[in-house]
Structure formats: structure tokens, C-alpha cells
Structure 1
Amino acid sequence: MTIYIFTGPTLSAAEGKKELDAVFLPPAAQGEVYRAALDKPVAIGIIDGYFERIPSVSHKEILWAMGQGVHVLGAASMGALRAAELSSFGMEGVGAVYDAYARGEIEADDEVAVVHASAEDGYRPASEAMVNLRATLRAAEAAGVIQGATAERIEHIAKGMFYADRCYPLLFRHAEEQGVSTVEIRALRNFLPEGRVDQKQIDARALLRVLRERFTGRVQPKPVRYHFEATDAWEHIRDKADRTAVAPGAGRTDPAIEELKRSDGYAAARRGALARALALEAARRQGRRSEGTALRDVVEALCRDRGLSGPGELVRWLEQQGVVEIERFLQDEAQVRWAEILYGPDADRCLADHLRSTGEYAALRDRALAREHGCERVRRLLGQGEELSFARVGRTER
């Protein structure tokens, strides 16, 4: 029987396969639980899922999947959050993080949020989840490494940090700046290599064990007691998912990106994509919205830059480029152009160091100096040539 698992930074597919024979997919985005359910698996386990810049897995698609007889369980991260929200409809949760959400001890999605690397880098986490920080602090307190009051102070400091900035070095620096005992911080640092608690991974492994125990034999379809209402919002999600469908288990590969990776331009394109991501993040942090005049300006700019006659031709051009959500794309483009204006001087100041990091600086510098030296020689030769020509003319005339 087929079981699908959505995971990524919490638990790698390679580690997950040691626990359970299943199809492991990347973190769930909106529409992907629906697409997985179309294949009629016996169960779907949600561990990790996207949010913020990529639409999150929706409640409606989980309800739809269970309505098709698919058992849906969640744990650790986005799965724990959705399981707590949909427990009354029959979605099952596993683990301590789910229990904390279900009891109302935690509520915010930033409790489990992390920033992580791309699929090529194995979704390696670049920050620490708040639930992991809290579990580690409690373990340190229980081991007598730090006092309870210190654990509470550091937890409060961590909770006040932006989720993407949460990491132990930065947390310890903030704690020292706010007067937390340096002796206890040093003791906590020494405790971390062995004492760090990865509660999310503990819960993820627990979920896989539950799935293995319950769904490897004959299983009855998931029973539900609710009536699924096919709302306009649901039809939009399903239509979008159908238009961007890929085979279950294939992951989200883009043929254009795969082709780019084979070319020499991949590194430069990825740098550009990074700049775009940072621009969008800067706009998000400042609470900036693109609408009205800003959207009209970006439409005019795109038409002008691409030689398009107007909005109608722009829409056709965007569709050719594979843009599915045109309004969202235009809003993002407006944010990027705003960031280009705001951070343009900073980019100019960083340009030389960027060229040094790519190894292009020396060749460009030498080429510029050679051109300048060559131009000077030409100027000198031209000056001499003019004098010689006059001299020859004079001799000829005589």
C-alpha cells in the first residue's frame, strides 16, 4: 500500500526511508496534498510544508483528501499545525509539538518555522525552530546547566526574534547584551553539542513509526462525518493544481531550470534569484504592499522593457513565460523594482566585491587598464602622425 510523506528540513528522505517504506516528497505547498490524494494512497503524512512566499497547504485539500478515504496525519512542523487545526474533522496528529498546539500552549506558526537551503542542498536548516529552542532550554534546566529563571529569559528573547534569525550564536549574543549571566550562557554553549533537543525530528520519526504500525496491512478507508463544500476558493486551488500537475513522487522539477543548470549561466542566474528573494523579503518586513499606481507602473515598465504594445500583449507574454498567477507575479515585480531604487546605491558599493568573489574582477580590471594604456598610445601616435604628415606635405610642396 502506498504512503506519501511530505518532508524536508525536519527529516531527510534518506533518513525517513530507514523508518518507513514510503514515497517521500518535498515540503508540501498548496495543491500538493490534493495531487497526492488523486493517486489514492492509503495514507498521507505531512511533516514539512511551505509558507509565506509559497502558498501553504490548504485546509480544504486535506479535508478533500480525507473525504476520498485517505488517512492524513501530521507531526513536527506544518503537519502538527494543520493536524491541530483539523483534529475535529479527523486529521490525526502525532508528537509533542502537535500536543502543544492542540492544548493551546503554542499557537503561532513561527513556533515551527525555519529557513532552509534548496532541494539540491538537502533542505538543510539555516535557523532553529522555536519549539526546538524551548525543548533544549528545558533539557538544560533539567540537567542543572542553567537556572529556571535563565531558561525563561532566554526563551523570551528567542521568541522576540524573527524566525529566520533564530540560531544559537545570535541568541547567545542577544542574551549577553540583555544581561543574562555569561557563566550560564557559557555552560549552555558547552551543553549544546550533545544536549540539543531536535523535537521536530523526534516527532517526525514518531509519525513514521505510527504510519508503519497502522498502515502496512489491510486498512479501511478513512471515514468522515462532514459534508465537503466545493467553494470557489477550493475550485481555484484545484484548477491551479491540475494545471501545474506532476506525477506523484516526481517532485517539483522545472525543465527550464534543469536546462539552465547545464549551462554556464546558472551561477549568475541564481545570484539574480537571490537578489530577488532578498528584495521581496525586505518589502515583506517593511509591510509594503504593491497595488494601484505601483502595479500600473510595473505594467508600463514591463511593456516598455519587452517592447510590448500594452497590457493585453503583456498577459500573453507572461503566459508564454509560464506565469500562472499573473497578479502575484506583477506584485512581486513591483516590490523588486522598489528595492532596486531603494538599495541601488548599496548594490553599486558592493559590485566590486561581488566581482572579486566570482573571480571576474582581475580580468575586468586588467582589460580596462590595457584599454586605457592602448588609448594613450593611440593618442600619442596620432599626435606624431599628424606632425609627420604635415612635414611630408611641406616637402612635397617644395
Structure 2
Amino acid sequence: MTAIVFVGPTLRPEEIAGAGDFFSLPPVAQGDVYRAALSRPRAIGIIDGYFSGAPAVWHKEILWAMSEGVPVFGAASMGALRAAELHEFGIRGIGRIFEAFRDDVLEDDDEVAVVHGPAEIGYLPASEAMVNIRATLALAEAKGVIGTESRRALEAFAKSLFFADRNWPALLAGSAPHGAPESELAALADWLPEGRVDQKRLDGLEMLAAMRATTGADEPAPTPFHFEWTYFWDAFVARSEMSASAPSAKGQLVLDELRLEGPEAYRQVETKALVRMMAMTGAARPARVSRDAARATLKRLREQFGLYARADLDRWMAANDLNASAFETLIDEEAAVEALRSRAGRSIDARLIDELRLGGAYARLAARAQQKDEAVAALGRLDAGATEALRGPALRLWYFEKRLGRPMPDDIADYAARTGFADVSALDAAVYREWLLHRQKPQD
């Protein structure tokens, strides 16, 4: 399996390609490490990442990747920062910049931040990182190009600049009033083309070498922590899954066809999709079931089986060998499953599609969705009769009684949610497509 490296302005693509079996991705942002770890790479290396313009990579997604057995390395830039913050948890920090942050010699994010161009021009840097300035000035002092006082003055002036304004021409032009002699500035300018130190690049290359040397083991080293599944992690996973694998417009219409077959058909596929999701993301934190949630689940179950009278419920429990305690446990577990479905939200859609493919239903549902597309195209527009049908209960009544052979539920919003529709209007739109097809080709 290939190792993944998040990199931008620090290293050129050919340096990544020439370093070994690495697949490079753009600078890391929030959610990227989580999504990369889902593919179970040999390792993940973080060099560059976004500090602004996109949410920064979250510490918890790095911990999750490691808890899943994926080694994570960090160096040079964002990688060095996160490695310094998480080194006690087992992330493998590499290089001098990481060590400086780990040992509290450096602490500001702006030490590694640069502005750079887009991917189309190779993330070309437009400013100089403060860590590179420090390393270059230290070497210049060691080589006798500048003295200690000049090095201190240049460092202080560079640090005072906004990170996007840091570059060697600006630094040399503005340092004289801060105590650096003109003669030493001139000597430094002559020396820089050959003497400049790119510490970020050196640390990045060192990280690639470390990844290549230490990721050949068959079994990953155990992590020194227990990954805690929280509500915020649930929400993060849902957002990341949704943004990474939302079905296409065609896929959504296929899912509508599944939902139109009713809650029982939908739930059978949804349950398998939830198992698939947990197999990839890990078992979710058990839901805390409130009494209100348990009562709602009990109400739904009684409606599903027609257990409206207490005597009916007692007979059902007896027929299913359930005493009061076991029945209460069953209701709590079902309410917990409902909570898991609710947390998954739209992030499960792509896995629903996969389950339809594996179950052999996808082609049938896709063909039916295509028939409806053709019916809509043939109609050209909503005629007055269709518009009126959509405004009243007649279309829903037709769908439930004629198509499903069941009474129309009292709570349409709850029904829409239980069958995976985003809301009642989404259900109505799908029912209209169903009605339109049958209006053109009467089958009932």
C-alpha cells in the first residue's frame, strides 16, 4: 500500500515522486487525514497544511488515524506543529523544526507560515518562512558573514513583519535602522544565493526518508492511548463523509426510488449501510437513550405492528418470548439504533448506493429513475393538474393507498425522515415523479 504525503510549497512534486512509493496530496485541511486514513495507506505524512482560508487539520482525526493502525509522521510546517502537539500520543515528529516546537524553543504558528500560489503553479512560495530565516542567519553568523548583533537585529526585524511580508529583499532593505551595518548587509546579500538554508525542505526530505525506513513492518505499533468517541467526533465524521462521497444527482434519484418502496425496504438497505460505515470508521460511541426517545420508539413499534391496545401488546410480547425487562431492553436498543441513523444523516448515502449495487437492486432502480426522467422530459412542464395535485393531499393519498397499499400516516414528516428523505418536500417531489410515470403508463 502506498504512503500518503500532504505537501505544497515545501517540496516539489518530483522530490516526492523520487523519494519512494509516495502519493502526494495538496496541503492538508480539516477532514483530509480522516479521509486519507479510510483507504488504509501504509503511512500518512504531513508536511504542509492550511492555516487560514480553510479549517486546519484537527488533532482528533490524526489520533483516529493512529488508533486505526496508520502511522502518522509530521515535519517542516503544519506537520511539525501537529507532531509537537501530539508527540506523546505516538505521532512521529521529524526534523529540527519539530524539535524546536516540541522543546518550546518556538511556539508561534507564523514561524512556518508562508503565502503561496495555487496548485496550477506548484504552490510557488511568495514569502520566506521565519524558520528558514533563522536557520540562514545562524549559518551566516557561523560562517563569519555577519556578526552576532547583526544576526539578532535581522531576526528581530523579520519577526516583527507580518508573515506574508517576509522575504529577503524586504529584510535586507529595512534592517539598517535596526542596528545591522550596511557592510554586513551587503556581505549577506552576496552570500545568500549560495548560502540560504531551506530548513523546511530539509526536514521534509528527512521525514520522507524516515517514512521509507520505518513503515515496512507487517504490524503497526500499538498506540499509547484509547481513542474516545464523542459527539463532536460523530459530527465531524458525518461532515467529512458527506463532503467526500456525496452521490451524484443520478445516485440521489436512485435512492429516491428505494425510499419510495417504503420504510421496510429502505431500512433493510440502511441497516447494511450502517454496518458498512462502522466497518470503515470504527464502532460509534454508544448513544445515550433518553426516555423521550424510548417512548417515541415504542410508539413507532406499536404503530408498525398495530399494537394499539395493551392486550395487543401483551400478546405480541408473549408470542415473541419477551418479558417486561427484555422488552424494555429491546426498545432501548432500537432507540439507540435510531440515534445512530440520525447521526449518520446524509453521510450514509454513498454506502446505500454500494449496498444497492451489491444486493443487485441498483440497475433496476436506476432504470426506473431513467423512465421517470423521460416522462418528465416528455411532459415539458408541470401542467395545472399536476401543480394542484402537489398542493393538496390527493397525491400523497394516491401514493400510500394505491402504490403502497397502506393508510396515509398521520405524521408525514416522521414518515419522510424514516424513509431517508431530506424533508416532506423531497418526498412530495419523488411521489410526483412516481405519479407522472403512472399517469403516462397506467398500471393501477
Task: Give TM class, smaller chain.
Answer: 0.5 to 0.7
Q: Corresponding residue for 1:233?
A: 232
Hey, what's the Cα distance between the residues in 2 that align with 1:93 and 1:185?
A: 35
Q: Deviations over 1:186-218 (max 9, x none)?
A: 111111100000000000000001111122x34
Q: Which residue of 2 aligns with 1:223?
A: 222
User: 1:99 maps to what in 2?
Assistant: 99
Compute the displacement of 1:82 (Å).
0.4
Shift of 1:233: 2.6
Contact 2:49 2:79 in 1 (8 A): yes
- TM-fit CA distance, 1:228: 1.5
**Is residue 42–residue 219 contact of structure 1 (8 Å, CA) maintained in 2?**
no
Query: Which position in structure 2 is the counterpart of 1:339?
Result: none
> Residue type of the partner of 2:227?
F
Q: Which residue of 1 aligns with 2:315?
A: none
Question: Deviation digits for residues 310-352 of structure 1, max 9, x if unmatched?
Answer: xxxxxx9xxxxxxxxxxxxxxxxxxxxxxxxxxxxxxxxxxxx
Which residue is equivalent to 1:61?
61
Deviations 1:233-258 (CA, angstroms, capped at 9, x unpaired)? 322322221111169xxxxxxxxxxx
3-state secondary structure, aligned to 2:56: coil
- Extract structure 1 runs of 4+ deviating beyond 6 A: none
Deviation, structure 1 residue 178 = 2.9
Supply the distance in 2 between the matched residues of 1:200 and 1:181 (Cα, whole angstroms).
28
Which amino acid counterpart does residue 224 of structure 1 have in structure 2? T
Residues 115-126 of structure 1 aligned to structure 2 (within 5 Å): 115-126=115-126
Alignment of 1:23-62 (within 5 A): 23-62=23-62
Change (3 A) 1:177 1:120: same
- Confirm whether residue 144 of structure 1 aligns to residue 169 of structure 2: no
Q: Specify the code of the residue in structure 2 equivalent to 1:189.
A: A
2 CA distance for matches of 1:90 and 1:188? 41
Unaligned runs of at least 5 residues, structure 1: 248-315, 317-398
Counterpart code for 1:213 = A
Q: Distance in 2 between matches of 1:237 and 1:121?
A: 32
SS in 2 for 1:128: coil
Q: Distance in 1 between matches of 2:148 and 2:162?
A: 24
Q: Which residue of 2 aligns with 1:173?
A: 173
**Aligned residue type for 1:219:** D
Alpha-carbon distance, 1:13 to partner? 2.0
Supply the AA of the counterpart residue of 2:63: L
Alignment partners' CA distance in 2, 1:16 and 1:246: 27
**Identity among equivalent pairs (%):** 52
Aligned length: 247
Question: Aligned partners of 1:173, 1:55: CA distance in 2, in Å?
Answer: 35
Query: Does the aligned pair in 2 maintain the 1:2–1:23 contact within 8 Å?
Result: yes
Alignment correspondent of 2:87: 87
Q: Look up the match of 1:271.
A: none
Superposed displacement of residue 42, structure 1: 1.9
Larger radius of gyration between Structure 1 and Structure 2: 2
Partner of 1:193: 193
Note the alpha carbon deviations across 1:275-315, whole angstroms, 9 max, x for none.
xxxxxxxxxxxxxxxxxxxxxxxxxxxxxxxxxxxxxxxxx
Q: Deviations over 1:30-77 (max 9, x none)?
A: 000000000011210000011122111110000000010000010111
Contact 2:149–2:180 (Cα < 8 Å) also in 1: no
- Is the contact made by 1:30 and 1:237 (CA closer than 8 Å) also made in structure 2? no
Cα distance, 1:219 vs. partner? 3.0
Residue of structure 1 equivalent to 2:108:
108
Q: Distance in 2 between matches of 1:9 and 1:186?
A: 28
**Residue pair 1:117, 1:126 contacting (<8 A) in 2 also:** yes
Output the CA distance in 2 between the equivalents of 1:158 and 1:231.
Answer: 42
Give me the whole-angstrom Cα distance separating, in 1, the residues matched to 2:232 and 2:161.
34
Maintained 8 Å contact 2:153/2:178: no
In the TM superposition, 1:1-398 aligns within 5 A as: 1-215=1-215, 217-245=216-244
Q: TM-score, normalised by structure 1?
A: 0.60
8 Å CA contact 1:146–1:188 kept in 2: the answer is yes
- In structure 1, what residue type is equivalent to 2:198? D
Mapped partners of 1:155, 1:118: distance in 2: 29
Which whole-Å CA distance do the structure 1 matches of 2:121 and 2:50 have between them? 16
Q: Which amino acid aligns with 1:238?
A: V
Is 1:75–1:207's contact at 8 Å kept on the other side of the alignment?
Answer: yes
Q: TM-score, normalised by structure 2?
A: 0.54
| Distance in 2 (alpha carbons) for counterparts of 1:209 and 1:44 | 13
CA distance in 2 between partners of 1:204 and 1:20 (Å): 13
